[in-house]
Structure 1
Amino acid sequence: MLTLKDSVTINRPPEVIFEWFDHFSENYTYWHKDHVIAKWIRGKNFEKGAILYAEEYLNGKLEKISFEITKIKKGELIEYKTLFPHSIICPYGSFSIEPHNSNGSVFTATLSFRFGWLLSKIAKKRVEAIRTHMREEGGNLKGLLEKSGH
């Protein structure tokens, strides 16, 4: 298993970050220039069992991905599994938020991939594009939340 992880310190409390995720479908396109749409097709706002459909460009290719929320700890953790066909390669991921210093947080995005050693060899550019995208999302989230003062 290959796990990609990106963490960023955001000078906002965990509740503020989680509140941003409560409006995920509205905020999705502001998060990253390559994000196209996100909509809840079952449930809403990261409740367990909810399904989110999202479209984004990755390395110039449009990806259409569905996720099912598998675990939620309000203000701390969102875990999800990707649905077929993406689940064959990338079965799950998460967003975690930990308090940091007096009024900040560490936001961490994680994606896990099957066939990690093989993927690293045959899809090196794709893995690097995903890593870059995750890093950009973290930086963008930091910028959005710190600038807005929410």
Structure 2
Amino acid sequence: MGSPAAQPDATLLLGIAAGGVVGSLGRYAVGLALPHPAGSFPWSTLVVNVTGALAMGLLVAFLLDRPGAHRLARPVVGVGVLGGWTTFSAFAVDVVTLLETGHGGEAGAYVLASFLGGVLAVSLGSAVGQRIWRMAA
């Protein structure tokens, strides 16, 4: 058996929770700015998920170029802020709702746009981040 998992400290947990609040409130604001009735294309969810993927690419590039980055950078920003910002569950509900309301073509386009957009956004964020962080070093 492996060693027991390290116990997170209060600072780590509070940082992740605070980051989650920031990300969730931001996602909520985007939902208010880009509302969509059930069965219509879920632009707000697509926007937060693709921009979250872009931000994750930037974060990963930053952390790889700075091995001495603060120990809370990845959990607070990656798990907290970006975890609160992005939403797989809303994506899944949106796909099912589009299908149930007879919008199969839009559901397929949404799945494709979310997947390809997310992968391309992480790649772009990583490439841009590597250039930015190396120039700044």
TM-score of the superposed pair, with normalisation by structure 2? 0.37
The one of the two structures with greater contact order (alpha-carbon pairs below 8 A, sep at least 6) is 2
Structure whose CA Rg is larger: 2
Structure 1-normalised TM-score? 0.34
The structure with more strand, counted as a fraction of residues = 1
Greater fraction helix: 2
